[in-house]
Chain A
């Protein structure tokens, strides 16, 4: 059997770890009852979600005029939030797909919750462009469907259409990847309910587990499909945010017309995605007592990724700034001078501070292994990444080629309400997930118990010395 180097830090802590112990720890929130803190958080999130639904209904009833977007700044709050949420989604697929291909065992403690986060974030993201269409009931027109309008097809030259394909593929493939991993875990919950005589749970999880029995051939196929899905999802992660960036990069707006956008956006997406994973996971491990499975080492690994991608984003900002001057294109250089010294200077400097300076703090081991510091910095990064999208979108548009059209943009309370609503939906979904789904991929985690848990590592050490 494969033995891991003993100097590599354990990924599963605890002195009495066994396959059964992992099962017990993973099902505890499902079989137990929610506490008052959970209900309080759920209520707040649920009310925020309802508020968002109300604002969406108002938008549909009134029209896009209910938003602050105007003729000059035609894309604003909605696309900012769209890109922000899509970016957040990227960490889940990165953890489950890219880290699987690289055989990073630490992904197993966090992949389930990160993938759940991806799925909920993509739903939040999709709300914005879909409702920005105005007549939302005609959203199916984005599909190339035979029609009566002089065979009017969708335009396959347009990055907006590429986005439709990229995001729907990304969303549905993420869902099946996530669900595939859940099937054996649901089977575990089902069989425990059967033993305990809980008829209701047994029935629910029997349906959810698709009758999974864990035969040899099932596992062979399961592992093969996981590997191929990881291989397919890896280019997908990079393509989705590249295509999102092309929504901007293929235009001729100064500040958008940039060839570095695809890698720059992908790095930013992973950066913000890991920050959101940390925000959620740091709370989750505490509330659900999963400290033995989501260890400080996991947090440190994620912080290192944040530091790397944060630095890439920083380099991209500085490159953009340098090229705007070096190119000698006055429109381009004005766009950037306007960004850092124009009326939206505060957004630019907020972005710079949060995204370029704050992740550099993770060079210190004390900070990147400190959970409180990590939590605070994860919120800072998420704020910074929201401002990044706001800066790119609004400051580039509000003063473009035609000075007579220059104007300012500020959101209406409807737009703010929709954004608050998506945050509400996100947390409502995540809190529900944390109570009814196995939040740790227990069947995968069991495969590394003997190689990567503290107890087994100590055992093998004693053998050698």
Chain B
């Protein structure tokens, strides 16, 4: 028996979410769903793990903040202390109020940009990458569910029952 892919098209996001719940409950693994927008409730219905990208961003921010402090300490205190407007830079902690703006900006800069690049590389969306959605209508108004199975009859029946408008076996 060979494994076949089933492409099921749904027309409505609410139907899709309830279908995903039923299919998951029936013990069938949904390989992928392509949707034109973020359908709320769908990741939960498919038990998609939470993304940790915000944690990554926080860590980038912590690193950037420490780096900025270190760099400013080196520039302004260690390497070439300047007395500007009677504000001598003997230690970092004495003068840190003046350095908060660039430290803050550098922290935000790194956490935002590195998070964005993390998204691009983790999802592999980069210039020149070929799109993987199986039907061009899934960026417009259709929702495509991809299931790989041996028992196409049973799965197709379930998909039809849950409200799929088109079913294609590849």
Instruction: Give the complex CA separation of A458 and B71 in angstroms.
Output: 60
Q: Are B125's CB and A211's CB within 8 A?
A: yes
Min CB gap B142→A, angstroms: 9
Q: Is A330 an interface position by the 8 A CB rule?
A: no
Q: Can you give 30 A-B contacts (C-beta < 8 A)?
A: A2-B40, A144-B71, A152-B80, A153-B76, A154-B75, A159-B101, A162-B105, A165-B105, A169-B109, A169-B112, A172-B112, A173-B112, A184-B36, A190-B131, A190-B139, A207-B128, A210-B125, A210-B127, A211-B129, A214-B37, A215-B32, A216-B46, A219-B42, A220-B50, A221-B119, A229-B116, A239-B105, A246-B101, A443-B37, A447-B38
Which of chain B's residues have a CB closer than 8 A to the CB of A215? 32-34, 123, 132-133
Q: Is A35 an interface position by the 8 A CB rule?
A: no
Q: Are B35's CB and A239's CB within 8 A?
A: no
Q: Is B82 an interface position by the 8 A CB rule?
A: yes
Instruction: Give the complex CA separation of A2 and B48 in angstroms.
Output: 21
Q: Assign chain A's interface to a size class.
A: 35 or more
Q: Are A220's CB and B104's CB within 8 A?
A: no
Which of chain B's residues have a CB closer than 8 A to the CB of A232? 57, 108, 111-112
Q: Which of A191-199, A265-273, A422-430 contacts B (4 or more CB under 8 A)?
A: A191-199
Q: Are B131's CB and A209's CB within 8 A?
A: yes
Taking CB atoms and an 8 Å cut-off, the chain B residues in 57-92 that contact chain A are 57, 71-72, 75-76, 79-80, 82, 84-85, 87, 89
Min CB gap A199→B, angstroms: 14
Q: Are B48's CB and A216's CB within 8 A?
A: yes
Q: Which of A4-12, A17-25, A57-65, A339-347 contacts B (4 or more CB under 8 A)?
A: A17-25
> B120 — nearest CB in chain A belongs to which residue?
A210
Q: Are A218's CB and B105's CB within 8 A?
A: no
Which of chain B's residues have a CB closer than 8 A to the CB of A153? 75-76, 79-80
Q: Is B161 an interface position by the 8 A CB rule?
A: no
Task: Give chain B's interface residues, CB within 8 Å of chain A.
Answer: 13-14, 32-43, 46, 48, 50-51, 53-54, 57, 71-72, 75-76, 79-80, 82, 84-85, 87, 89, 95, 98-99, 101-102, 104-106, 108-109, 111-113, 115-116, 119-120, 122-133, 136-141
Which of chain A's residues have a CB closer than 8 A to the CB of B131? 187, 190-191, 206, 209, 211-213
The interface centre, meaning the residue of B13, B119, B130, B138 with most chain A CB atoms within 10 A of its CB, is B119
Which of chain A's residues have a CB closer than 8 A to the CB of B132? 211, 213, 215
Q: Is A158 an interface position by the 8 A CB rule?
A: yes
Q: Are A211's CB and B101's CB within 8 A?
A: no
Which of chain A's residues have a CB closer than 8 A to the CB of B129? 210-211
> A222 — nearest CB in chain B belongs to which residue?
B38
Q: Are B33's CB and A216's CB within 8 A?
A: yes
Task: Give chain A's interface residues, CB within 8 Å of chain B.
Answer: 1-2, 18-20, 23, 144, 150-159, 161-162, 165-166, 168-169, 172-173, 176-177, 180, 183-184, 187-188, 190-192, 194-195, 206-225, 227-229, 232-233, 235-236, 239, 243, 246, 443-444, 446-447, 450
Instruction: Give the complex CA separation of A224 and B137 in angstroms.
Output: 25
- How many residue pairs between the two chains, A and B, have CB atoms under 8 Å in the bound complex? 209
Q: Are A161's CB and B102's CB within 8 A?
A: yes
Which of chain A's residues have a CB closer than 8 A to the CB of B138? 191, 213-214
Given A153-B75, A188-B140, A214-B34, A169 contacting B108 (CB threshold 8 A):
yes
Which of chain B's residues have a CB closer than 8 A to the CB of A443? 36-38
Q: Are B106's CB and A446's CB within 8 A?
A: no
What would 7 more interface pairs be, CB under 8 Å, given A20-B140, A444-B37? A144-B71, A153-B76, A155-B84, A187-B131, A207-B127, A224-B53, A229-B112
Q: Are A176's CB and B116's CB within 8 A?
A: yes
Instruction: Give the complex CA separation of A157 and B77 in angstroms.
Output: 12
Which of chain B's residues have a CB closer than 8 A to the CB of A19? 36, 140-141
Instruction: Give the complex CA separation of A447 and B36 in angstroms.
Output: 10
> B122 — nearest CB in chain A belongs to which residue?
A221
Which of chain B's residues have a CB closer than 8 A to the CB of A151? 79-80
Which of chain B's residues have a CB closer than 8 A to the CB of A246? 101
Q: Are A223's CB and B38's CB within 8 A?
A: yes
> B133 — nearest CB in chain A belongs to which residue?
A213
Which of chain B's residues have a CB closer than 8 A to the CB of A225? 53, 115-116, 119
Report which of A165, A192, A213 forms a contact with B101, defined as CB distance below 8 A: A165
Which of chain A's residues have a CB closer than 8 A to the CB of B82? 155, 157
Q: Are B137's CB and A191's CB within 8 A?
A: yes
Min CB gap A11→B, angstroms: 16
Instruction: Give the complex CA separation of A172 and B46 in angstroms.
Output: 35
Q: Are B95's CB and A157's CB within 8 A?
A: yes
Q: Are B130's CB and A211's CB within 8 A?
A: yes
> B43 — nearest CB in chain A belongs to which residue?
A220
Instruction: Give the complex CA separation of A180 and B112 in angstroms.
Output: 12
> A210 — nearest CB in chain B belongs to which residue?
B125
Instruction: Give the complex CA separation of A176 and B50 in angstroms.
Output: 23
Which of chain B's residues have a CB closer than 8 A to the CB of A214? 34-37, 133, 138-139
Q: Are A176's CB and B112's CB within 8 A?
A: yes
Which of chain A's residues have a CB closer than 8 A to the CB of B71? 144
Min CB gap B89→A, angstroms: 8
Given A210-B125, A210-B129, A443-B36, A188 contacting B139 (CB threshold 8 A):
yes
> A152 — nearest CB in chain B belongs to which residue?
B80
Q: Are B108's CB and A235's CB within 8 A?
A: yes
Q: Are B14's CB and A229's CB within 8 A?
A: no
> B141 — nearest CB in chain A belongs to which residue?
A19
Given A23-B141, A214-B139, A223-B38, A156 contacting B99 (CB threshold 8 A):
yes
Q: Are B36's CB and A218's CB within 8 A?
A: no
Which of chain B's residues have a CB closer than 8 A to the CB of A177? 112
Which of chain A's residues have a CB closer than 8 A to the CB of B38? 219-220, 222-223, 443, 447
Min CB gap B51→A, angstroms: 5
Instruction: Give the complex CA separation of A224 and B38 in angstroms.
Output: 11
Which of chain B's residues have a CB closer than 8 A to the CB of A159? 101
